[in-house]
Chains A and B, each alone.
Chain A
Amino acid sequence: MDNHLTRRDFLKLAALLPVSLYLPKITSSINGEKPNVLVIIFDSWSASNTSLYGYPRKTTPNIDKLAKNAIVYHNHYASGHYTYPSTASFLTGVLPWEHKGYWSNPYENIQEPYYQKNIFHYLPEYYRSACTHNSLANGLLVNMAAGIDKLLPKYNLSIIPNKWYDRLFSHDEDISILSWIRNLENLEEGFANSVFLSRFYRQFREISLAKYREQFPRGIPAFSLKDNFVLETAIDWVAENLQESATPFFSYIHLLPPHSPYRTRREFVDQFKSDGFIPIKKPHHLLGQKPITYQEQVGSRRMYDEYLLYADSEFQRLMENLAQKGGLENTIVILTSDHGEMFERGIPEHGTPSFHNPLVHVPLLIFPPGQQERIDIHALTTTVDLLPTILHLTGNPTPAGLEGELIPPFQTENRSERAIITADFRLSPKSGPLSDGTIMIRAYDYKFTYFFGTKNKYSKLPDSFGFELFDLANDREEMENLFDPSDSLSQTFLQMMEDKLLEKNLELVRYN
């Protein structure tokens, strides 16, 4: 084996040296104590709309300031483009093709071994708590509940908790709640299954929600279709819970904003109304839904951006609260998202299995205790890297079979040749060849995407499959598809995908 460093390797390693000098000592212990870990997920938070990453609108003024004491990751990618697969990847450390949590139904769960093989079970000496507004994330947490010391029921975060209903049908929460909503609460849409009781219930709700209406002129934030919440409740719970919890703790907090519906707090309404920002017009995508007018796109984007201000302000409040109480002295805070959001190309929100950057390029910041400098990391990182990284930071061994790796600056080896993968197989069966899906490989400055299938939106594909290759260094907005089967670069990416599938022993249904 040749161990000699080339000049090139030496320069690469030298480039990492300043970073390692700034890095505080947060490996397995601080002052002999294991560090606490607080993970905050803001759902559907796209790096593309974040001022920290160069978005022209100042959407995250507080996080931008807090970042001066953080490690900021500039090329972090979600492992899926919607909550279930991506959150499952975060918690299990494996990609969707491994945990198979790519169905939208919480009962069509991740593979059963992952009920035990997940971050909560890998940190047995930690006090583990979790809460979420998101039904899909909640489904995962319930599956993993045996490893969680305190799992706050989702509806405790609601303004009007349906506690009795939850208890009565605790084995069948999602479907019973769906029925409750459709029967009683749906009247906000003008109709419900119940002819009369829904009207009485509406009056009851109006009385309960009246004090929040003033604060939220675009409507009160909601999850599970009609369950209203305010972010303040969850933030207060986190601050209080962490203050009281045993140490070391690991806390996973999955908050819904800025996920739709975009209902920001009063002081952020119309913040960007006349800022002169003109988003780029982008063509309709093959898998896009119905055409959306440019004005509608611009309007949705502004609503989202203004909602993001709310999330940003509450995160700042949490950090301030924790700092005041000394809660950050031995706590690593990880701030990220499960996936992004999009407004153009006929892809509103994140409903289409395309992997354009706004949908999968997400923020990641790590706030180590005592960090005095901002460190910017431009290496490629992905959701599945977070589990091995957390295990490293907490001094725990990394189990075999994880698909991510320790990220810089904790990993000092240069990995410029690294390729990361994002995948979605929502319409594929859990066993047998994958019939419908999207696979994305992000490597070097390029992003390669392969779409295949015949079901649902995939049926729009010519010949049942399609390819995209974008040069992100020169085409950040992904406007020019470079894929050409005769081109060597395209062939390289095709080969990379084939190799990865072979390595994972996966088979695709080959159309044509």
Chain B
Amino acid sequence: MTEKIKNSRLSFGYWFKLFLIVAFPLHVWGLLMIFRDIEFITERTNLWDAFGYSGYSLLFILVESILLSVIVWALSLLLPKGWGESRMLAVTGSLFSILAGASIVDMAFHAFSEVRISKQYLYGLKNFTATTYALISAAVIAAMVISLLLILKTNKGEKVFTEIFERVSMLGYLYLFLDAAGIAIVILRNLSEKY
């Protein structure tokens, strides 16, 4: 049985499931930023350059997703050997998603003008940086602990997370399709002689 789990951890299928979970937040944020930039680029150059920019960015996000999923997969090997695949995915997926979510919230805080107003307000507060980052860190750690408790202490918790990640993985296939289109654009642009 242990041998079977071990094999399952080392299998391509397990890594690929992890990859789809990891790719989700990275693509959501990346696509949001790409759409945000498309108008800027089209206005200054042309639509083909905007596609080119999207292609490179998607390729970049794909590479990032692969790298991070390998790292998460390697770290997941450190988890107790007795855990089943769904628990492993629920734990690693939830911890990664919380970290990604925190990183995205931090970036959104700087990226969007609506949030900038509150940023200016916050910057006016004494000890803004230390206080804010202490609060964010506390919130992230709390979210991680809560999700771990839910997964490890309740069967329902593990099931909920597993089902969420299954649905997320379905979207992952759509992102892979977009990534493939991005790669095709990059190849096309680099095959054509510009100069």
Q: Which residues of A contact B (CB under 8 A)?
A: 104-105, 107-108, 142-143, 145, 169, 171-172, 175-176, 178-180, 182-184, 189-197, 199
The 6 closest A-B pairs by CB, nearest first: A190-B110, A179-B56, A105-B45, A191-B107, A191-B111, A175-B52
Q: Is B16 an interface residue (CB 8 A)?
A: no
- Which chain A residue shows the least CB distance to B100? A195
Cβ-defined contact, B61 with A194, below 8 A: yes
Chain B 170-195 interface mask (CB, 8 Å, partner A; 1/0): 00000000000000001001111111
Q: Given A105-B45, A175-B56, A182-B37, verify A191-B190 contact (CB < 8 Å).
A: no
Cβ-defined contact, A107 with B194, below 8 A: yes
- Expressed in whole angstroms, the Cα–Cα distance for A195 and B190 within the complex equals 26
Cβ-defined contact, A183 with B60, below 8 A: yes
Whole-angstrom distance between the Cβ of B82 and the nearest chain A Cβ: 30
Within 8 A of A (CB), among B11-34: 25-26, 29-30, 33-34
Q: Please give 20 more A-B residue pairs, beta carbons under 8 A apart, in addition to A175-B56, A175-B189.
A: A105-B49, A107-B194, A108-B45, A171-B190, A171-B193, A171-B195, A172-B186, A172-B190, A179-B60, A182-B33, A182-B53, A182-B57, A190-B106, A192-B33, A195-B30, A195-B64, A195-B100, A195-B104, A196-B68, A196-B100
Interface of B is mostly: helix
Contact residues in A for B68 (Cβ distance below 8 Å): 196
Cβ-defined contact, B57 with A179, below 8 A: yes
B44, B45, B52, B107: which contacts A190 (Cβ < 8 A)?
A: B107
Whole-angstrom distance between the Cβ of B139 and the nearest chain A Cβ: 17
Q: Is B122 an interface residue (CB 8 A)?
A: no
- Which chain B residue shows the least CB distance to A104? B44
How many chain B residues sit at the interface, stated as a range, is 35 or more
Cβ-defined contact, A193 with B52, below 8 A: no
- Expressed in whole angstroms, the Cα–Cα distance for A175 and B41 within the complex equals 9
Q: Given A175-B52, A190-B107, verify A169-B45 contact (CB < 8 Å).
A: no
- Expressed in whole angstroms, the Cα–Cα distance for A145 and B195 within the complex equals 9
Contact residues in B for A104 (Cβ distance below 8 Å): 44-45
Cβ-defined contact, B103 with A195, below 8 A: yes
- Which chain B residue shows the least CB distance to A456? B43
Contact residues in B for A197 (Cβ distance below 8 Å): 64, 67
A-B contact pairs, 21 of them (CB 8 A): A105-B45, A105-B46, A145-B195, A171-B189, A171-B191, A172-B190, A175-B45, A175-B52, A175-B53, A175-B189, A183-B30, A183-B57, A183-B61, A190-B107, A191-B108, A191-B110, A193-B29, A193-B57, A194-B60, A194-B61, A196-B26
Cβ-defined contact, B195 with A143, below 8 A: yes
- Expressed in whole angstroms, the Cα–Cα distance for A195 and B63 within the complex equals 12
Cβ-defined contact, B57 with A192, below 8 A: no
Contact residues in B for A172 (Cβ distance below 8 Å): 52, 186, 189-190, 194
A176, A178, A195: which contacts B29 (Cβ < 8 A)?
A: A195
Contact residues in B for A183 (Cβ distance below 8 Å): 30, 56-57, 60-61
- Which chain A residue shows the least CB distance to B30? A193
- Expressed in whole angstroms, the Cα–Cα distance for A179 and B111 within the complex equals 16
Contact residues in B for A199 (Cβ distance below 8 Å): 103
Whole-angstrom distance between the Cβ of A31 and the nearest chain B Cβ: 39
Whole-angstrom distance between the Cβ of A27 and the nearest chain B Cβ: 36
B44, B46, B110: which contacts A189 (Cβ < 8 A)?
A: B110
